[in-house]
Amino acid sequence: MSTEMGRYPPALWKPVPSFGYPEATRGQLRANGPKGAFFHDAQGWAHGALARFQNPANQGSAHIIINLAGPPHQFIDFDDAAWHAGGYIPGLGTFANLFHWGFEFEGGYPTPEPINDHQVDVALDLCRWLATEYAFKWPAVRRVDLWEHREVYPTSCPSDRIRWPDIIAGLKGDAMTTQDWRARRHISGLLRQAAGHLHVAAGLADVAWSQDEYLSLRDHILLAEGTLTHARQVLRDTGLGPETAHTKIDTFK
């Protein structure tokens, strides 16, 4: 078996020492047959996670960290059992690390903000690569194949950072092309942006207008109109769900 077989091609390889049962045993996860993944909050930056995992005294690792921008860093071969969850699957009694991959997500410090669009895209691409590499079909069901660390271990991780609706919809929508999926999210983001401009405009309309307030009100209305026009153009270009998306756009009129 090639030593490169369990390595995600876009990732930067940053090996760490803690994996396997007994320690340094190779190939256990592939041999056992993967059952899914645990999602973790790094509570900081990739370099901090790498330093933590490189120290054997910390007795921890994850397969990969998905960064806020740029390529992910892979720490453990996906064939091997990383030391990331440290608990047992409820109702089954199986040790999580022997059957599940561990994904860390950069960020979450000092505020546990949701993972960003780049991280969602990379996570979905990684899951699709794993599905091909390990002949694993993601059911895309929470607490079946998609787990949070706190569901098997006393911790707050991943601190409500994981955008589960986006992850689940992306995995269930594999018949949809990645381009179409990103277009849907693009439209959704444009609608939220337009709503933000109209929210500001509504607040300005409630106060006595000075010249500056009038100009700001006008600018926010124009920005909202321009954003909705952009959303309509994306919709026309992709041909995605015209009735549903049109209804969403019309609600901002």
Between 135-149, 155-169, 185-199, 210-224, the lowest mean confidence (pLDDT) is in 185-199
Amino acid at 159: S
> What are 96-134's pLDDT values in tens digits?
999 999 999 999 999 999 999 999 999 999 999 999 999
Between 4-13, 25-34, 232-241, the lowest mean confidence (pLDDT) is in 232-241
Contact in structure between 140 and 74 (CB atoms under 8 Å): no
User: What is the sign of the dihedral through the CA atoms of 181, 186, 187 and 192?
Assistant: positive
Average pLDDT over the chain reads 88
pLDDT at 190: 85
Candidates 117, 137, 159, 114; CA nearest to 36 is 137
- Look-up: residue for tokens 């000075």? 210
pLDDT band at 180 (very low <50, low <70, confident <90, very high): low
Q: Is the pLDDT of residue 3 over 80?
A: no
Query: 3-state secondary structure string, 134-174?
Result: CCCCCCCCECCCEEEHHHCCCCCCCCCCCCHHHHHHHHHCC
Report which secondary-structure segment, H or E, holds 73: strand 73-74
pLDDT band at 250 (very low <50, low <70, confident <90, very high): very low
pLDDT band at 16 (very low <50, low <70, confident <90, very high): very high
Contact in structure between 187 and 236 (CB atoms under 8 Å): no
Alpha helices in the chain (DSSP H): 28-32, 46-54, 117-133, 164-172, 178-205, 211-238, 242-250
pLDDT at 51: 97
The domains located in the chain, with CATH, are: 12-172 (3.40.80.10), 178-250 (no CATH)
Q: How far is CA 131 from CA 27, 110, 135, 137, 164, in A?
A: 17, 34, 5, 6, 18
Which residues 6+ apart lie within 8 Å of 210 measured at CB? none
pLDDT at 151: 97
pLDDT band at 210 (very low <50, low <70, confident <90, very high): confident
Candidates 93, 94, 34, 92; CA nearest to 63 is 34
> What are 129-172's pLDDT values in tens digits?
999 999 999 999 999 999 999 999 999 999 999 999 999 999 98
Angle subtended at Cα 84 by Cα 96 and Cα 95, rounded to the nearest 5 degrees = 15
> What are 29-66's pLDDT values in tens digits?
999 999 999 999 999 999 999 999 999 999 999 999 99
Q: What is the mean pLDDT of the segment spanning 210-219?
A: 86
pLDDT at 146: 98
pLDDT at 206: 81
Q: Is the pLDDT of residue 77 over 70?
A: yes
> Is cis: bond before 71, omega within 30 of 0?
no
